[in-house]
Structure formats: structure tokens, C-alpha cells
Amino acid sequence: MRAISGLWRWRRNPLRRGTDLAEAWVGLVALVLILVAGPVIGAFTGGAAQDALQRSARAQRESRELVTATVVRKLNRSPLDADPETSSGRDLRSRVLADWTAPDGTTHEGKVLAELQSPHRGDRFSIWTDLHGRIAARPLDSATATTHAVLAGTGAALLTAGLIEGGRRFAVWRMVRRRYDRWDQAWDRAGPDWGRTGTGS
């Protein structure tokens, strides 16, 4: 926006300084870079993240299986578990001892969190395991991977725009500081004679 509002600096004007024109050019270059480089870097970053995340999601889907576990018995709540009166829907899970058969045919038994409010012996529920039956997290799904990739691309584009704007502000700050230094030097030269009659004659 500063580049657009600074278009007046290109007009011919006897009061226009060289630094005014330089500031206008810096603003225009920054605007063009934000409009071009930001989206390009964002698209490149998002595309790279999409490829990596989709590969990871495929690998997770290939190495994990949803198996059915059977409750052996309910376990006592851990003291660190959330208070059931204040817990949200995602906290309404129970710690149970369960057994399950792995994709490779081996049987396993262990403590797991079951999405059952009041589990009883023999209740069945689903859990994710690796191919050897060890408990694993739910695999990353394609839609979530795409969402993360879009966020990564957007973040990269915004970061690029921020860096360019920061560079523009720093360049303008340096130009203003040099202008002030030149004014100070000119004032130091003219200061001793300022206001005297016949100065410069």
C-alpha cells in the first residue's frame, strides 16, 4: 500500500528529492516481490509438503491395521486422568486391559484406552496397531495431510511477505537516517552564521 500511496514521488516536482524517488522504487520493488515471490514460494513449499505428507500417510496406512480388541477387565482410573464431571467428549475413554490378534496372527494383551464409557468383560472395540500387533497411532489421512500442506504453503507465503516488508522498512530507515545525517552536516556548516545580517555576502 505504501508503494501505491507513494506514486506521487514519481511526479516531476521541484521539491522532490532523490531519496523520495529511491523510496518509491524500493516500495514498488517490494510490492512486486510480495505479489510474485510470496505466492511462488508458498506454492513450492505447499507442494513439497503435500508430497512428503502424502508419502508419509501412504506409508502409515500400509504399516498399520485397524484390529478388534476385546475387553478383559476395566482398570482403575489414573490419578492424572481428567475429572469425569469436567471432561469433554474426547476424554470419555476408559483404561482397560484388552487382548487382540495382530495382523501377523500373534495374540497380544495390554493396557489400552477404549472409547467405551462403561466397558465390561467381552466388549469389543477397535484399535490401531502396527503389523506386529504393537499399539500405534491412527494413520494420517489424505485430507489432513492436504490441510497441513496448505497451512505450510500459506505460512511460507506470509513469512516471505513479512521478510520482504521488513527489508523494505530497513532500506527506507537507512535512507532516512542518511538524510538526517546530511541535514545535520548542513546545519553544522550553516549554524554559526544562522540569522546574521549579510551572511554569505
* pLDDT at 91 (0 to 100): 54
pTM check: above 0.75: no
| pLDDT at residue number 30 | 92
Strand order in the sheet with 64-74: 107-114, 94-101, 64-74, 124-130
CB half-sphere exposure, 27, CA atoms < 13 A: 19
Closest CA to 99 of 130, 135, 131, 65: 135
Q: What is the pLDDT of residue 167?
A: 93
What does the pLDDT look like over 80-102, one tens digit per residue? Answer: 555 444 444 445 678 888 999 98
pLDDT at 59: 92
Cβ-contact 98, 72 below 8 angstroms: yes
For residue range 96-130, list pLDDT tens digits in order. Answer: 889 999 888 889 998 988 888 888 888 899 999 98
Per-residue pLDDT, 178: 86
What pLDDT does residue 34 have? 93
Q: Which residues of the chain have pLDDT under 70?
A: 1-18, 77-92, 191-201
pLDDT of residue 3: 46
